[in-house]
Amino acid sequence: MKYVIFILLTGSIFYTQSMDSFLRFFNYTSTATHKLFKAASTNDVTGMVTALANGAKINAHDADGDTPLH
């Protein structure tokens, strides 16, 4: 059982890192930055802190040119 949990956790880490690389390649924001935009739009302070701790870019811009805290 421990082996299965390890595989699942390892897979999710690699998925997140590869997804961020994929998004950067196409000039999209990282998943952490996306979570920051989403948390900011719903006034979720805890979500914003978590997203920033996970590497979200506070000065990122969306399609309209707005930053997460704009």
- Residue 68: pLDDT over 90: no
Model-level pTM?
A: 0.57
Q: For 19-62, what is each residue's pLDDT tens digit?
A: 555 555 555 556 888 888 889 989 999 999 999 999 888 888 87
For the chain, which residues make up each domain, given as ranges?
2-53
Q: Taking Cα atoms as reference points, which of 8, 54, 29 lies closest to residue 46?
A: 54
